[in-house]
Chains A and B, each alone.
Chain A
Amino acid sequence: MKVFGPWLLALIAGLPMVWALWAAASQALDVQAWQALWADPQTLRAWGLGVWTGLASTVLVWLTVARLLANGFIRRQLARYLVHVPALLATPHVAMAIGLVLWLSPSGWVLRLVSPGWTGFDAPPPWLTTQDPWGLGLILALWLKEVPFLVWVAATQMQREDLRRRWQAEHALAQTLGRTPRQAFAQVIWPQLAPRLQWPLLAVLAYGLTVVDMALIIGPATPPTLAVLAWQWLGDADAALQAQGVAAAGLLTLSVALLAAGAVVVLQAGVVLRKVASRGLSLHMTQAPGVVGWGERSRLQANVMGGVIVMAYLAVWWALGVGSVLGVWPFPQVWPTLWTRDAWVQVLGSASTVWTTLGLAVASASVCLLWSVAWFEVASGRWQRALRPVWLLPLVLPSVLWVVGLYGLALQWHLEGQWPGLLLAHALMVLPYVLLALEPAYRAVDPRQAAVVHSLGHGRWTYWWRIKWPLLRRAITSAWAVGFAVSVAQYLPTLYVGAGRYATVTTEAVTHASGGQRSLMSAYAALQMLLPMLAFVGAGWLGRPRQFEKIAPMKDTP
């Protein structure tokens, strides 16, 4: 078990992953396709748009997160962040994009609220407010989605008991040395925190650069971003265009790699600069990259940004709810003249869609949870460190390239367009999230606890069932819910590996978003959001800590 376990587990997850990578890489090395890609007039612009939206959203997210964390840390509100942020995280990207469209499109609420009074419009103007050619809508949507993600990752780190105590002590110490709370954070805490956020930040960058589903709804259209263009080419009947799509996916991958390397260099340069500067006299000069201006104004900014984000989520949820029961809704009117349940009747009537979604989510989350727990229990620290980058690959690889590989794998294993193939594709996408969700809890386990249990004469199964897993229950249930949510939100793998034969609430939401059926797309988006939220609520209930009778702590009286 000790010897075979890690090998077996590594093989189970590693084989399909490496196989898919190989299938993608071998297809992406087609010289003719690269020449065609180079010659295509849309390529350069689309590439520029993709890089722009990815970089702009990432920089904005980084600046925002730095300020929010400083505020949360100084005012001891991180625990509160951790309570509320999961609700924001549970809102899928597609649902967020659709909610924003309902507000920002030319016929959306924003313009209705001020029409015709201020604008004089009796009909929606021919503006490109949501699929704007500059990608501003997409940047906004990415910013709204990624800030809570990064805040959550950072806050879970900062709330680890050992780190929290140490950092609070260091923060207090820096203030006794004459720093304001904000300077103390910028000079002492942030330099320690930022390197820990490097990988999640790169995931944000990779996601922003390569996102397809969200960009289909709220991203620029003519030309779209390179990821969307690649996706369109992949779906073309013409084999040459398909190959060009694979090449475009390859180009995206290279771009992600280069930009990620650039980002790492910038972050490292910041660390080096700070070291050099702190060897000199003026610690005042040293600042983490992206964290300029820690005056009182930044506190105000943090409050405003936090408020904007929360308001935007409330507005999106509200829009999806109201949008799903819209009947007749002539333009300048804020409220529809006719409400209807039709969309919901249709959504809930499409039982196969809902069941496919639930089945895939439950199965892939459960499979990944079992695998991850087994991995953490059986694999030694050396195994875990060595293979961690492999398991996290799906996070940084562009999903358009990944689905090419997954489809190749499905074809070769005769699973394309079939449920097992779809499950495999979902599971590979879900795995890194489940691993990441479990990892901090597993790292926090005190090894002496196992020693105590064994010294009391109990073997390792007793330790797992009675001590360790009950204590990790919260992490385990929420990791399952994370996996469930990730699976529900999958768009590309579902369509591509499922060969279009399987519909989930996500694929339906995206389809109806481009079809312009407002109430139907809202209803699917609302359901797409409700399912993971229910999973999180259920996980929270199952993972609640044991409630003891509330009694005041006792003191020793020598």
Chain B
Amino acid sequence: MNAGLHVEIDRLGTAAHAWVRGLRLHVPAGEILTLMGPSGCGKSSVLAAIAGTLASVSEGLRPLQFEGRVQLNGRDITPLPTHLRGVGLVFQDALLFPHMTVAENLLFAVPAGPPASRQARVQQALQEAGLEGLGERDPSTLSGGQRARVALMRALLAEPQALLLDEPFSRLDAALRAQLRPWVFAHLRERRIPVVLVTHDREDIADAQSVVELGHAG
């Protein structure tokens, strides 16, 4: 009953304006919940509240206030800092670190352990992403689709207990999106972790049974 991601948002917004009120989400392990809504409705803020990154999202503006609770596999993670939550994040931009090679980007995510096994996991991830032999590259020389795949593999290598995707396909063209979606969803389901996908594009919906429309949802 406690497994998976439970999110209760009583109120999320600035002091003057609430973006989201009374939102309840439950995402069991292995399920991909799609959070839909027009841009500016607070979808990304919901992800930031789950990941604990509200401070960085609201940089420059008034800080967003979050009242509610986030539980992951029975653990209340609301008071924890981001790096202890076990929640992975993938943005629409791949945000690969430009001063590291592709392989170093991946290695950065692999938890501490014997160097040989960490390297082996990086090589395996490259293989799964269809990027064998490209590990030593400057990430800026990769194509948009390749970068998106590296970003996802990087997030998964950190062994998150839940993963959040913020419009992960919106920077890619339609043909590429259609090609990438099944690959991403297959990899996500394999991990048996709860996933929240935020999008404004109906085509991106992973599972028609599991969609929440923001603004209409209770």
Contacts and interface: CB of A to CB of B under 8 A. Distances in A.
Contact of B88 (A455, A470, A552): A455
Contact of B142 (A381, A448, A554): A554
B98 interface: yes
Contacts of A451: 48, 51, 53, 56-57, 82, 89, 91
A295 interface: no
A449 interface: yes
A467 interface: yes
Given A452-B91, A452-B95, A456-B88, A556 B56 contact: no
Given A447-B59, A455-B158, A458-B83, A556 B137 contact: no
A456 B137 contact: no
B101 interface: yes
B14 interface: no
B83 A546 contact: no
A556 B146 contact: yes
Nearest to A545: B99
Contact of A448 (B52, B56, B137): B56
Interface string B170-213: 00110110110000000000000000000000000000000000
Given A470-B99, A471-B98, A455 B160 contact: yes
Contacts of A545: 99
A556 B176 CA distance: 8
A558 interface: yes
A453 B154 CA distance: 10
Interface string A448-483: 111111111111100000110011000000000000
Interface in B7-39: none
B116 to A, nearest CB: 21
A446 interface: yes
B109 interface: yes
A548 interface: yes
A550 B90 CA distance: 28
B171 to A, nearest CB: 12
Contacts of A446: 95
Interface in B149-183: 154-155, 158, 160, 164, 172-173, 175-176, 178-179
Contact of A556 (B57, B60, B144, B164): B144
B51 A455 contact: yes
A450 B155 CA distance: 14
Nearest to B179: A558
Interface residues of B, number: 48
Given A448-B95, A471-B98, A455 B144 contact: no
Given A448-B95, A467-B97, A455 B141 contact: no
Nearest to A546: B99
Contact of B176 (A447, A452, A554, A558): A558
Interface residues on A, range: 20 to 34
A205 B3 CA distance: 66
Nearest to A473: B99
B101 A558 contact: no
Given A447-B56, A448-B56, A457 B158 contact: yes
B97 A455 contact: no
A546 B139 CA distance: 12
B196 to A, nearest CB: 13
A446, A449, A545, A556, most chain B CB atoms within 10 A:
A556
Contacts of A554: 141-143, 146
B160 A553 contact: no
Residue from the set B57, B59, B81 with the largest chain A CB neighbour count within 10 Å: B59
B125 to A, nearest CB: 13
A448 B91 contact: yes
A555 interface: yes
A449 B95 contact: yes
Interface string A331-355: 0000000000000000000000000
A84 B86 CA distance: 47
Nearest to B93: A448
Report which residue of A447, A457, A460, A545 has the largest number of chain B beta carbons within 10 angstroms of its beta carbon. A457
Nearest to B154: A456
B51 A457 contact: no
Contacts of B93: 448
A177 interface: no
A544 to B, nearest CB: 11
A453 B52 CA distance: 12
Contacts of A555: 143
Nearest to A449: B95
B111 A457 contact: yes
A162 interface: no
A471 B155 CA distance: 20
Contacts of B97: 449, 467, 471
A530 to B, nearest CB: 31
A39 interface: no
A381 B85 CA distance: 25
Interface string B95-122: 1011101000000110100000000000
B146 A457 contact: no
B145 interface: yes
Contacts of A454: 51-53, 81-83
**Nearest 4 pairs of A and B residues by beta carbon:** A548-B138, A454-B82, A447-B56, A455-B89
Given A457-B84, A558-B178, 15 more contacts: A448-B95, A451-B48, A452-B95, A453-B83, A455-B89, A455-B160, A456-B83, A457-B86, A467-B97, A471-B98, A548-B137, A549-B136, A553-B143, A554-B146, A556-B172
14 contacts: A381-B60, A448-B56, A448-B93, A448-B95, A450-B53, A450-B56, A466-B108, A546-B99, A548-B138, A551-B141, A553-B140, A556-B143, A556-B173, A558-B176
Interface of B: 48, 51-53, 56-57, 59-60, 81-89, 91, 93, 95, 97-99, 101, 108-109, 111, 136-138, 140-146, 154-155, 158, 160, 164, 172-173, 175-176, 178-179
